[in-house]
Structure 1
Amino acid sequence: MKSVADAARAVLQASAPRDKVKIARTAARLWRQGALAHSFDAAMPARPARPEKPDLLPPAQMPKRGKGGSERGRIAMLHALAHIEFGAIDLAFDMAGRFGGAFPRAFIDDWFGVGADEALHFALLDRRLRSLGSHYGALPAHDGLWEAAEKTAHDVLARLAVVPMVLEARGLDVTPSTIERFRAAGDERSATIIHRIYRDEIRHVAAGTRWFKNACESRGLDAVGHWKWLIETYFRGLLKPPFNDSARGEAGLSRDFYAGVAAGKKSEQGPVTSWGGQTS
Structure 2
Amino acid sequence: MADRSVAEACRAVLTATAPADKIKAARAAARDWRLGRLAFEFDVAMPDRPARPDRPELLPPNRMPKRGKGSEHGRIALIHAITHIEFSAIDLAFDVVGRFGGEFPRGFTDDWMHVGADEAMHFALLDRRLKKLGSFYGAMPAHDGLWDAAADTAHDSLARLAVVPMVLEARGLDVTPAMVERFSLANDAVTARILTRILNDEVRHVRAGTVWFESRCREMGHVPETTWQALVTRHYRGLLKPPFNDSARDSAGLSREYYQPLAVR
TM bucket (normalised to shorter chain) is over 0.9
Aligned ranges for residues 195-210 of structure 1 at < 5 Å?
195-210=196-211
2:47 corresponds to 1:31: no
Aligned counterpart, 1:221: 222
Name the aligned partner's letter for residue 171 of structure 2.
R
1:268 aligned partner: none
Q: Quick one: which of 52, 57, 61 aligns to 2:59? A: 57
Q: Can you list the C-alpha shifts for 1:122-152, whole angstroms capped at 9, x where unaligned?
A: 0000000000000000000000000000000
Quote the Cα distance in structure 1 between the aligned partners of 2:140 and 2:62: 15
Structure 2 residue aligned with 1:165: 166
Give the superposition deviation at 1:66.
Answer: 2.8
Which of 8, 12, 33 is 2:14 aligned to? 12
How far has the Cα of 1:170 moved from its partner?
Answer: 0.4
Task: Verify the 8 A CA contact 2:162 2:232 in the aligned structure 1.
Answer: yes
2: CA distance, partners of 1:215 / 1:263: 28
- The residue number in structure 1 matching 2:120 is 119
Letter in 2 for 1:19: D
Shift of 1:167: 0.4
Q: Counterpart in 2 of 1:237?
A: 238
Aligned twin of 1:211: 212
Of structures 1 and 2, the one scoring higher in RCO (CA 8 A, sep 6+) is 1
* Cα-to-partner distance string for 1:36-65 (whole Å, 9 max, x where unaligned): 000000100000000000000010000111
The Cα offsets for residues 139-166 of structure 1, whole Å up to 9 and x where unpaired, read as 0000000000000000000000000000
**Structure-1 residue corresponding to 2:80:** 79
Partner residue in 2 for 1:276: none
Q: Over aligned residues, Cα RMSD in angstroms?
A: 0.8
Distance in 1 (alpha carbons) for counterparts of 2:224 and 2:231:
10
Aligned-partner Cα distance in 1 for 2:159–2:175? 23
1:140-159 pair list within 5 angstroms:
140-159=141-160
Q: Deviations over 1:152-198 (max 9, x none)?
A: 00000000000000000001000000000000000001100010001
CA distance in 1, matches of 2:264, 2:240: 8
1:133 counterpart SS class: coil
Note the C-alpha offset of 1:263.
4.4
1:258 maps to which residue? 259
Contact preservation (8 Å) 2:41, 2:102? yes
> In 1, distance between residues paired with 2:29 and 2:35?
10
User: 1:236 offset after TM fit, Å?
Assistant: 1.1
Structure 1: 4+ residue segments shifted above 4 A: none
Task: Give me the whole-angstrom Cα distance separating, in 2, the residues matched to 1:210 and 1:78.
Answer: 30
* Greater mean alpha carbon deviation, residues 169-178 or residues 1-10: 1-10
- 1:74: Cα distance to partner? 1.1
Structure 2 matches for 1:93-108, cutoff 5 A? 93-108=94-109
Q: Which runs of 5+ in 2 are unaligned?
A: none
Q: What SS does the corresponding residue of 1:238 show, helix, strand or coil?
A: coil
From 46, 49, 55, the counterpart of 1:47: 49
TM-score by length of 2: 0.98
Q: Report how many aligned residue pairs link the two structures.
A: 263
How far apart in 2 are the matches of 1:193 and 1:96?
Answer: 26
The whole-number CA distance in structure 1 between the counterparts of 2:241 and 2:45 is 36
> Aligned with 1:48: secondary structure?
coil
> Amino acid of the residue matched to residue 60 of structure 1?
N
Partners of 1:7 and 1:41 lie apart in 2 by 11
Q: Is the 8 A contact 1:70 1:185 kept in 2?
A: no
1-structure distance, mates of 2:6, 2:216: 20
CA distance, structure 2, for counterparts of residue 103 and residue 168 of structure 1: 21
